[in-house]
Chains A and B, each alone.
Chain A
Amino acid sequence: MSEKFDVIIIGAGPGGYVAAIRCAQLGLKTACIDDWVNQDNNPSPGGTCLNVGCIPSKAMIESSEQYQKAQHELAAHGVNVRGVKLDLATMLARKNKVVHELTSGVAALLAANKVTFIHGRGKLLANKVVEVGKKTVTADNVIIATGSSPSELKGVAYDGKTIVDSTGALEFNSVPKRLCVIGVGVIGLELGSVWRRLGSEVFMLKSSHSFLPAADQSIAKEALKAFSEQGLDIRMGAKIKNVSVVRGKALIEYDDEQGSHQEKVDKIIVAVGRRPNTHNLIADDAGIAVDERGFISVDEKCRTAVDGIYAIGDVVRGPMLAHKASEEGVMVAELIKGEFAQVDLDTIPSVIYTAPEIAWVGKTEQTLKKEGIDYNVGTFPFAANGRARALGETGGLIKILAHAKTDRILGVHIIGPQASETIAQAKIAMEMGASSEDIALTMFAHPTLSETLHEAALSVQERAIHAVQPKRKKS
């Protein structure tokens, strides 16, 4: 006799656990199934994000930046430090502690909301029956939120020691002397930056020539320049021919325009994308189809072909971002309850936690040009911002794109300090239908980094105060 629920959620990552909490808030009898365990083999809800993704990487980014500051940047402040040493074990332990605090937090939230947490790997059978280990549970509604895992590069198998994925990249017990990162996306850049700061000699390989194609290209250009100056050796157009491990060291052979190359490194991080976790997840007679890349097909409300079965987060279309999964989870919970809910997939903010940070929301210049939309640009450099100068972080800029006729803000792009925070202000403004003039008329506190948003808005209106801008050519 299976226990019956209103909703069963398979997966307790940012999509699953948020959906579970929302369902419970709406009075639905909810079960959440998850099989993540931590180092002590205890259940660890929070999915990839909390366990091996967003959170641990941000902890390592923060720690590595502190190390970099201590080594190279304190002297300018008149703070003389000698004998700065890296204790990697402590750094990793701190990261694990942060992860543990948050995963315990998620477990506590689920319990407080009276969600039935079932530890194990769920499998969806026919008729909305979910099998977990030897048990089955059944529900009126099922939400699939099983997330994604790192993709493998064809012919380059992970061995967990020398050739690792993003998870392994957070666990090196010593700083690799030479490190190769295959894949120059968000994850590759963040992890490559971490180990470079901790002392590795890092080079990165990308098969195509486009750098951060989803980002606004003028921002991407600034980023590439900044990373190169930091010593991140980014090599584009590199086609991997062979990877082998010989006596604990990895040998990479690749071809590019210059010819054939051979590199010997201590570790290789492969970060070439992620694939949805749908293998062995759904029984053939459950009625849900999975496409050739493993994604579950859903409509704009995350409904699958079967009434009452939904899928959210990395297993469905759209950017693989935790906040997108969470909002989809909330939407589905509310739909199940019978309320109106929707998620706008067109204005999801994106952040890259490199140094400098990169963040954007809305459309890029290249997209607007392609769509034939007439727009005005306003920019402002952090070098002209008082707070940035005081912080000693003067690289980067912020850019606002506004519709030429209505002045509605269509996109905001930032590379610079605290971009991840400032982008939220832009997102709120865009959500309320703000024009750039609305932001120009809004008072910002001084001195803040956020003021750059204000100045960029003034720049769209051609009246920046803290920068001299050339007159816009009338088209």
Chain B
Amino acid sequence: MTIEVNVPSFPESVADGTLVTWHKQVGDVVEAEEILADVETDKVVFEVPAPSDGIIESILIKEGATVLSGEILATLGEVEAGTAHKPAPAIVEQRSAVATEVSTDEADAFITPAARKMIEEKSLDAKQIQGTGKGGSILKEDVIKHLENSSQKAPPAAASVDIDQVSGERLEKRVPMTRLRKRIAERLLESQSNAAILTTFNEVNMQPVMELRAKYKEAFEKKHGTRLGFMSFFVKAVCEALKRFPEVNASIDGDDIVYHGYFDIGIAVGSPRGLVVPILRDADQMSLAEIEATIRDFGARAQAGKLSIEEMTGGTFSVTNGGVFGSLMSTPIINPPQSGILGMHKIQERPMAENGQVVIRPMMYLAHSYDHRIVDGRGAVLFLVAIKELLEDPARILLDL
């Protein structure tokens, strides 16, 4: 009995994905839920688990190929007694005699002379190229198509993809962009060219927040089971400020301005594949503990590449923190279709003038980049001032001042 292994369903906004890695090969015995392959889309990498125990009968999609939602990637057959943990080439041969369309990545496909020349000259990996000739042979036109469509993932250690060219004495290394990076690049450019992005700066004295933290740290952790960081304060301040300046929580849709009556705050986190922005839904209704816990969870899952697309879609405002790397000041770029983003930076002790005295305060520069098409200068500045004031005196949040 043959079982299909399919690409997981993509959400509507995602058209297709790339099968980046096969973790198994034809003939391997697998258990249910064992991860068989990785499929990368613009936003996330999906893992494809085995739907049940079985032995991999055929692999229908090569690494590097484009796949659609629900497409069949491979087939599993029932494990025959006595063949556990042994590859079974006999089964593979029987199947390929019957299935005329199957191309396994066990056998090397025939490559026509012209195709071979192109592959050698451009240092391509033939296994990445879909052959459309008779019997799956790779034709010259398949190589041409591959070069055109190529959004090859460059595995960190793949010598066949990286080309070190020596021109004179200086080395150049050419690495194709991953699909995710390409998409990030597109969105950033889109943001920049569509919105009139300006940035206003301010600075916040973090001492009050730090004192609050120090005072209640242990009790907080004891009660809520999660550490009290800074982010929850910032998120709360942001939500408050957004309530007071609704145009910052709006987006442009055609000729309309859509004022969102909810607060979905995106928190930018780094991942090995690039920056991703998971969303805190209805952040204004979350407690500080919930915010802290969720953000911590986002961070961990981003590192492991396990954030889902739903978690990263939507959002009415974003917060980014360059301070972890040491940035003092920056001009963040907006996440379309949002109209604003708050940039947090490094907390650095600086001499400040207070009441005619010079005192040392832990200061953070804040940046608010905004879309000037719907947020005017006054609103943008006052928004940031509100955040500063709410952070420098958290009681204001309680008192709605």
Contact of A408 among B113, B134, B141 (CB under 8 A): B141
Asked if A220 lies at the interface with its beta carbon under 8 angstroms from chain B, I say: no
Contact B114 A405 (CB under 8 A): no
In the assembled complex, A65 has its CB within 8 A of some CB on chain B: no
- The docked-state distance in angstroms from the alpha carbon of A440 to that of B116 is 13
Chain A residue with Cβ nearest B133: A433
Evaluate contact between B141 and A438: CB separation under 8 angstroms: no
Nearest CB in chain A to that of B141: its residue? A406
Task: Tell me if A266 is interfacial: C-beta within 8 Å of chain B.
Answer: no
| CB 8 Å contact bits of A423-460 with B (1 = contact, 0 = none) | 00000000111110110111000000000000000000
Q: Are B134 and A435 in contact (CB under 8 A)?
A: no
* Docked complex Cα distance between A435 and B141 (Å): 8
> A407 to B113, alpha carbons, bound, how many Å?
13
Q: Is B117 an interface residue (CB 8 A)?
A: yes
Taking chain B's interface residues, is the majority helix, strand, or loop, or is none over half, making it mixed?
Answer: helix
Q: Which residue of A lies closest to B144 (CB)?
A: A406
Contact of B114 among A340, A403, A431, A441 (CB under 8 A): A441
Interface-centre pick from B112, B115, B133, B137 (highest chain A CB count, 10 A)? B112
Docked CA distance A434–B137 (Å):
11
Residue of A nearest to B140 (CB): A435
B109 to chain A, nearest CB (A): 12
Chain A residues within an 8 Å CB radius of B117: 437, 441
Q: Which of A405, A433, A441 contacts B134 (CB 8 A)?
A: A433
User: Would you call B144 and A438 a contact (CB within 8 A)?
Assistant: no
In the complex, the answer to whether A438 meets B137 with C-beta atoms within 8 Å is: no
Given contacts A432-B133, A433-B133, whether A441 and B141 have CB atoms under 8 Å apart is: no
A431 to B139, CA, bound (A): 12
Residues of A with C-beta under 8 A to B287: none
A213 to B334, CA, bound (A): 64
Shortest CB distance A15–B (Å): 26
The winner among B114, B115, B137, B139 for most chain A CB atoms within 10 A is: B114
Taking a contact as CB atoms closer than 8 A, the residue among A340, A438, A442 that contacts B140 in the complex is: A438
In chain A, positions 398-427 with a C-beta closer than 8 Å to chain B are: 403, 405-408
Q: A408-B139, A441-B117 are in contact. Are A433 and B144 (CB under 8 A)?
A: no
B112 pairs with A407, CB closer than 8 A? no
CA distance A211 to B18 in the complex (A): 53
Complex CA gap A408/B114 in Å reads 11
Which residue of chain B lies nearest to A436 when distances are taken between CB atoms in the complex? B114
Q: Which residues of A have CB within 8 Å of B112?
A: 432-435, 438
Nearest opposing residue in chain B for A429, CB measure: B112
Contacting pair B140 A406 (CB below 8 A) = yes
Contacts of B202 in A (CB 8 A): none
Quick check: B144 and A405 within 8 Å, CB to CB?
yes
Contacts of A437 on B, CB cut-off 8 Å?
113-114, 117, 140
B residues within 8 A CB of A433?
112, 132-134, 137, 139, 141
Q: Which of B96-153 contact A (CB under 8 A)?
A: 100, 112-115, 117, 132-134, 137, 139-141, 144-145
Nearest CB of A to B144, in Å = 6
What separation, in Å, do the CA atoms of A403 and B133 have in the docked complex?
A: 16
CB distance from A272 to the nearest CB of B (A): 40
- Once bound together, how far apart are the Cα atoms of A433 and B139, in whole Å? 7
Question: With A433-B132, A433-B139 known to touch, is A441 a contact of B144 (CB < 8 Å)?
Answer: no
A340: B residues at CB distance < 8 A = 100
Query: Which residues on A sit within 8 Å (CB–CB) of B100?
Result: 340
Cα separation A213 to B199 with both chains bound (whole Å):
72
Determine if A431 and B134 form an interchain contact, defined as CB atoms under 8 angstroms apart.
yes
Instruction: State A435–B117 Cα separation when bound (angstroms).
Output: 12
B interface residue numbers (CB < 8 A to A): 100, 112-115, 117, 132-134, 137, 139-141, 144-145
Some 24 contacts from A to B, beta carbons below 8 A apart, are A340-B100, A403-B141, A406-B139, A406-B140, A406-B144, A407-B140, A407-B141, A408-B139, A408-B140, A408-B141, A431-B134, A432-B112, A432-B137, A433-B132, A433-B139, A433-B141, A434-B139, A435-B114, A435-B139, A435-B140, A437-B140, A438-B113, A440-B114, A442-B113
Known: A403-B141, A435-B139, A435-B141. 12 other contacts (CB 8 A): A405-B144, A406-B140, A406-B141, A406-B144, A407-B114, A408-B139, A432-B112, A432-B133, A433-B139, A433-B141, A437-B140, A438-B112
